[in-house]
Amino acid sequence: MTGTLDADALLQASRRLDWRFLLPDPELGRVACLGAVSIDLQDSLRLFSNSLTMLALEESGEAGQFDVVVVRHLSGEKLRLAAGWLKPGAYLYAENDGFLSGGKPWRFAVPAACVTAVSQAGFTEVQAHWHWPNFVACTRIIPLHDRGALRFSFVRGGRSLKARMQAGIGRLLLWSGLLKQVVPRFSIVARLNS
């Protein structure tokens, strides 16, 4: 299938999955998408995994068969289902919109609360990452637990007035402790306990 894509399309598809390098092994193996995920993410997963299965929330079947489960808009139900579908020691990857996006339960829209919820569900090595500027056109994946990486993300940027103002606001939010509460997009990567 990769032979039918031009080099630019293949590169773009691989960039959509840059988060796979947050895993110990970037080879994705058997992947399942639980619930609705974007078409671009599905297409990229088809290209860079051994197999891709689309699972509906009400679907039942043989549990513990996937190396990675991908979720959009994590919820308590999706978290419980993902834990059942994953092999022991396998990984969950979830893309979430932040609290300011509206309409999401607080515990899954604020990174720290989401990390706690995922940890309480039996996952370990739980980390939240800010995807800048968004999941599709991501140029930076910034670990939200690393203050130095967050600080550095506001040093790098353009020279325009807008870029300098955004960096200043970002530094102010970081200093005040509010940045982790208002990031617009973040992912969760977690390992299911063995």
CB 111 within 8 A of CB 142: no
CATH number of 2-192: 3.40.50
What pLDDT shows up at residue 91? 97
CB 84 within 8 A of CB 74: no
pLDDT tens, the chain, 194 aa long? 445 678 888 888 888 999 999 999 889 999 999 988 889 999 999 999 999 999 888 776 667 899 999 999 999 999 999 999 999 999 999 999 887 676 666 678 889 899 999 999 999 999 999 898 888 888 889 888 877 767 777 665 567 777 677 666 666 766 767 667 778 889 999 999 87
Neighbours of 85 (CB within 10 A): 22
What pLDDT shows up at residue 158? 64
Please choose, from the candidates 37, 48, 39, the residue with its C-alpha nearest in 3D space to the C-alpha of residue 11: 48
Q: Domain coordinates of the chain in residue numbers?
A: 2-192
Tokens of 131: 């995807």
CA dihedral 121, 123, 126, 131 (to 10 degrees): -70
